[in-house]
Chain A
Amino acid sequence: MTRPAARGGRGLLLEVVMAGCAVAFVFPLYVLLMVALKRPQDVATNVLAPPSSVYWGNLAEAWSSAEMGKALVNSTVVTSLSVMMLVLTGSLASFALARWKRGLGYGVFLLFVLGLVIPLQLGMIPLYQLMRDAGLLKTYTSLIVFYTGHELPLTVFLYSGFLRALPRAYEEAAYVDGATAFQAFRRVVFPMLRPVTGTVIILNALFIWNDFLTPMLYVSGTAQQTVPVAVFSFVGEYSSDWGIIFAGLAIAVAPILVLYFVFQRHIIKGFAGGLKG
């Protein structure tokens, strides 16, 4: 084994290098917070220094003129309803597909998984027209329908992997007791899916909350716009008034960062385990 002395020296060097990496990683976030809390005239004079005194004006201005409050509500509504739809439709479909593995059932499963490699761009224009012709543009519904369909491949993929490994004895016991397939799913199988449902919620909620292109096409400039769209229109409006722009960015990322630091263990596990399927 390695000599203790060498290990100690090596260990210290590693810690110093990693501390350097940590500073480099935090630097852009430090910039974000610092510019948001500086007086406009101080931003240009000294780029790196922290503000001499904390200035809340940017945040107040961003909050009122970018209607960030409204955007946060919109994003919350769209994200939570879409995730709910995904959990319901995805778990139900995966249950049937995992128990119906041959022939058509397997074909349908492959059809869903194919969605993982189809880029959004291919169907973007026909889907936009479909939404427009259905009169759904500028509504929450357009986004919720979009996210439900668009994120089903990942959702079905995650649920199916978990369901295949789940013993069937529990649901068979429910059938013995006279349950219908739906009752067995709702009372026996769905509660056992809890760990993977957590992963499904985390991955989809983050994707939906952060997504930009589709909401820009569907709800940009309306009262229904989500946080990234509000931020973008705000950036255009204030072009180089970085203090106010960054105040907008800070409001946009604050809820995600708070949730991230609270649930970081689960979130990181969701990404590490969920994506490798």
Chain B
Amino acid sequence: MTLQLSRPSAGSRHASAARSGRRGPRRGWLFVVPALFFYGLVVLYPSVAGAVYAFTDWSGLGSQVNPVGLANFGRLLGDAEAVGSLWNTLLLAVALMIVQNVIGLALALALDTAIRGRNLLRTLFFAPAVLPPLVIGVLWKYVYSPGGPLDGLLAAFGLEGLQQSWLGDESLALWSVVVAIVWQHAGLSMVIFLAGLQGVPKELYEAAALDGASRRQRFRYVTLPLLAPATTITLVLTMITGLKLFDQVFAMTGGGPGYATETLSLNMYKQAFVLNDYSYGTALALVLTMIVAFISFLQLKVLRRLEVEA
């Protein structure tokens, strides 16, 4: 196929260049084949198969697969553990989205000033985001343990009265999990906001100041609207991460006490790989998929509109 062999004249060379310019690389589709092979094998085929199995009574063992319609989903509605894990998942995701981004934005605004040691601070705040989520879970399990570092810290300040059974109390455990994950991911929101802030032209602030805008007005009318694209990204990202949460919760509480911190991912894992109830597990996974797709679609739609109006 090498054209070099025939050494075309200058004129025909240009003609062939124009042609390939129009058509793109010849046999370009061959370049997509390796990627499609891996993607199809690992994501497309299994996901479609999983979605189909959700409507069957497949046990995962024999070859016996019967369609059962919506039976798995009906069972889900009557299953207190599954419904509870659904609520926990939504609660976790929304709480994380709010708390993590408020803290991330505050840190970003603070670091976008002439503060001393800002590079070091940025490096420190982001550091937890590069660590394995599983390690974070184990680490915080100890931080929260009775008589552990957090209780010790409170005691050191004479605040023994505030000591709690951080992960053992059913009404508190989910919030303790939120704090640990915010600690891990706040730096990620921070760097996304920082990148957005650094894209705001300084002249805009100066112009607003000249027009007599107060500090608060400058934040409200200059900074916030220009941060909208960064906000969209980090809100969608934290929401999706929150909905799929597994490692940290698995290591910290295993879903307990009771089912107080059980997430949809955790419940699905348990049904499929501990109880070998495959079709029910895939039904839970399908519900999770629908929620992720629906919420991220909704978020993108709403947030993108806000961006335009800003």
Contacts and interface: CB of A to CB of B under 8 A. Distances in A.
Interface stretch (B77-85, B107-115, B170-178): B107-115
A242 B149 CA distance: 12
Q: Secondary structure at chain B's binding surface: helix, strand, loop or mixed? A: helix
Nearest to B113: A14
A268 B191 contact: yes
A205 B54 CA distance: 33
A181 interface: yes
Interface string A113-135: 00101111111111101100000
Interface stretch (A20-28, A62-70, A192-200): A20-28
Given A2-B215, A96-B25, A121-B288, A153 B244 contact: no
A117 B132 contact: no
Contacts of B258: none
B195 A264 contact: no
Interface string B1-44: 11110001000011011001100111111111011101111111
Given A213-B246, A232-B134, A264-B126, A149 B34 contact: no
A94 B294 CA distance: 27
Contacts of A219: none
B192 A275 contact: yes
Nearest to A267: B130
A99 B127 CA distance: 38
B256 to A, nearest CB: 15
A84 interface: no
Interface string A253-275: 10011001100100110011101
A245 B143 CA distance: 13
A60 B58 CA distance: 47
Interface residues of A, number: 99
Given A22-B121, A25-B183, A276-B233, A178 B139 contact: no
Given A118-B43, A119-B288, A272 B191 contact: yes
A15 B120 CA distance: 13
Given A119-B292, A120-B244, A235-B251, A130 B46 contact: yes
Interface string A7-36: 000010011011001100111110110010
Contacts of A182: 31
B255 interface: no
Given A18-B121, A122-B51, A126-B46, A93 B134 contact: no
A82 to B, nearest CB: 10
B34 A93 contact: yes
B50 A125 contact: yes
Contacts of B27: 181
Nearest to B127: A260
Interface centre among A176, A228, A245 (most CB of B within 10 A): A176
A273 B31 contact: no
Contact of B60 (A125, A156, A276): A125
Interface centre among A126, A175, A246 (most CB of B within 10 A): A126
B294 to A, nearest CB: 10
Nearest to B215: A2
A187 interface: no
Nearest to A32: B139
B162 interface: no
A68 B300 CA distance: 43
A93 B24 CA distance: 13
A48 B156 contact: yes
A81 to B, nearest CB: 13
Contact of A228 (B1, B40, B132, B230): B132
A253 B135 contact: yes
Given A28-B183, A93-B35, A178-B4, A117 B130 contact: no
Give the 7 A-B residue pairs with the shortest CB-CB distance, closest first.
A149-B42, A123-B46, A181-B25, A47-B152, A93-B35, A99-B24, A96-B31
13 contacts: A25-B124, A25-B125, A92-B35, A108-B32, A111-B44, A117-B292, A121-B244, A123-B43, A125-B272, A152-B38, A181-B26, A210-B133, A212-B247
